[in-house]
Amino acid sequence: MKSTIHNDVFLKTLNHQSTPYTPVWMMRQAGRYLPEYRESRKNAGSFLELCKNTEFATEVTMQPLDRYPLLDAAILFSDILTVPDAMGLGLHFVDGEGPKFHKPLLDEKSVQKLDVPDVENDLAYVFDAVKSIKKSLDGRVPLIGFAGSPWTLATYMIEGQGGTGFLNIKKMLYTRPDLIHHILKITAESVSLYLAKQIEAGVDVVMIFDSWGGVLTHEEYETHSLNYMKVIIANLNLMGFENIPKIIFSKGGGQWIDKQAKSGADALGIDWQTNLGEARKIVNDKIVLQGNLDPAILLSTPKAIKEAVRKVLDSYGHGEGHIFNLGHGITQFTPPENVECMLEEIRNYSKKFHAGN
């Protein structure tokens, strides 16, 4: 039985209900821009330990909410690469270089060995964290669970790390499409089970991060990225979770909004390179839009931040169906007081766009 949520503005927006203001949360809101996070990270000893230790994962999920009462949602502190890690690819983090895999999928033999992991046991630490965070939240705001999209996870699994030119995965895509689709199929099934278990543990909303969908060609985006996200949404609905709101976000995917709107998702994340007002016209208010402030604006001045916030809200315009967010994750160099400035401006300025005011 889900507990009562005291601040349900985020959920109301996802359900196309009227709200007194535009809700807001931030991608990577628990993270390196906060001194308290850096302290927890130091105490944990490593990033993976931060994710895998229930107490630490709860602590860092709660930190931004304790600092910023104007946030309307919490997001589980975890990493998109927990799923390939459970598949036995040997995830590790190198300081200054980010995530790497000891056993990337470089040949046919390794691809054919890939299988759906024992999600319930191998990723139990994630579900334990969800339960602990829900207890700490005590109904304060909803909790968002998440996973990486199959295409995005496949890029890390094949490249063996982030920050590449995607040449290995694209070579496989064009020369051995059978292998790519095998990886994407196994990963979509794994992510479906993973998100289902997060929901059972207590998350109120799930989001699929398609960080690298935008590197695909026009034709390949639908076949290799969007279609597999649609499979996950359909699977969750078949498992009985049709009432749990689902958000998809393809970074660099603004040209495919019309296709994303037909995915079965309840909301679309929009990056900062996309015009929010134009996106609203395309979806015709049939689907909620989330976004899309450039995270870099938070490195500037309060005056510039307030102006940028107003531009985003003006661009969406009057009415419901908008969740304020950044167009990608908050940068680690952001001064925490600039976040407060942004949140206050969103709360104050957005009220005039809602019917109740």
User: Is there a catalytic annotation at residue 156?
Assistant: yes
User: Is there a catalytic annotation at residue 95?
Assistant: no
Query: Which 3 state secondary structure label does DSSP give 91?
Result: strand
C-alpha–C-alpha distance, residues 289 and 280, integer Å? 7
Task: Indicate which residue of 79, 85, 204, 210 is catalytic.
Answer: 79
User: Is there a catalytic annotation at residue 310?
Assistant: no
Query: Which 3 state secondary structure label does DSSP give 240?
Result: coil
E strand or H helix that includes residue 170: helix 167-175
Task: Indicate which residue of 41, 210, 228, 316 is catalytic.
Answer: 41
Q: Which of 201, 59, 223, 204 is nearest to 119 (CA)?
A: 201
C-alpha–C-alpha distance, residues 157 and 38, integer Å? 28
Beta strand spans in the chain (E)? 74-75, 91-94, 98-101, 143-148, 205-210, 246-250, 267-269, 288-293, 322-326
With 0-12 / 13-18 / 19 or more C-beta atoms within 10 angstroms meaning exposed / middle / buried, residue 222 is middle
Task: Indicate which residue of 21, 156, 221, 228 is catalytic.
Answer: 156
User: Is there a catalytic annotation at residue 32?
Assistant: yes
Q: How far is CA 344 from its chain centroid? A: 23
Mark out the alpha helices in 176-238 (DSSP H runs).
Answer: 177-201, 218-220, 227-238
User: Is there a catalytic annotation at residue 314?
Assistant: no
Both ends of the chain: CA-CA distance in Å? Answer: 33
Phi/psi of residue 87, nearest 5 degrees = -80, 0
Instruction: Report the catalytic residues.
Output: 28, 32, 41, 79, 156
